[in-house]
Amino acid sequence: MSARLIFLLIGAGAVLGTGACDRNGEDDSRTRINVLDSTFTQSWQTMQDTGVVYRIEVISPLGADTIRNVIPPAPVVVGDTLVIGLMQVSEDSSTPQRQIFRARLGQHRIETKPMPVDVWASYQDVLVSPDGRYIAYVGEDTTPENPGTYAVVRNLANGEIMAKGPGGGGCDCDEDFNHARWFPPDSFEIAVAHTNTKGGWERISGKASARRIHVDSLTDEPDWH
The string of DSSP letters for 53-100 reads: EEEEEEEETTEEEEEEEEEEEEEEEETTTEEEEEEEE--TTSPPEEEE
pLDDT of res. 7: 41
Domain end, chosen from 115, 141, 176, is at 115
* Chain center to CA of 104: 18
Amino acid identity for residue 215 in this structure:
V
Same domain membership, residue 138 and residue 105: no
Same domain membership, residue 79 and residue 92: yes
Strands 50-60 and 32-42: antiparallel
pLDDT in tens, the chain (225 residues): 333 344 444 444 433 333 333 333 344 568 999 999 999 999 998 778 889 999 999 999 988 999 999 999 999 999 889 999 999 998 766 789 999 999 999 888 899 999 999 998 888 899 999 999 999 999 998 777 777 899 999 999 999 999 999 888 777 666 788 999 999 999 999 999 887 777 788 999 999 999 989 999 899 889 886
Containing 156, the helix (H) or strand (E) segment is: none
Question: What is the count of structural domains for the chain?
Answer: 2
Q: Which domain holds residue 219?
A: 117-225
Same domain membership, residue 140 and residue 80: no
Rounded CA-CA distance 117/142 in Å is 12
Same domain membership, residue 105 and residue 4: yes
pLDDT of res. 40: 94
Rounded CA-CA distance 100/88 in Å is 9
Instruction: Identify which of 177, 173, 172 has the alpha carbon closest to the alpha carbon of residue 193.
Output: 177
Q: What is the pTM assigned to this prediction?
A: 0.83
pLDDT of res. 103: 95
Same domain membership, residue 2 and residue 111: yes
Rounded CA-CA distance 219/188 in Å is 19
DSSP letter string, 89-147: E--TTSPPEEEEEEEETTTTEEEEEEPPTTB-TT----EE-TTSSEEEEEEEE-STTS-
Rounded CA-CA distance 65/126 in Å is 23
First vs last C-alpha separation in the chain: 13
User: How many other C-beta atoms can be found within 10 angstroms of the C-beta atom of residue 76?
Assistant: 23
Same domain membership, residue 124 and residue 19: no
Rounded CA-CA distance 97/44 in Å is 5
Instruction: Give yes or no for a contact between 36 and 56, defined as CB atoms under 8 angstroms apart.
Output: yes
Q: Please give the DSSP secondary-structure letter assigned to residue 213.
A: E
Instruction: Give yes or no for a contact between 62 and 106, defined as CB atoms under 8 angstroms apart.
Output: yes
Same domain membership, residue 137 and residue 87: no
Domain end, chosen from 115, 131, 160, is at 115
pLDDT of res. 179: 93
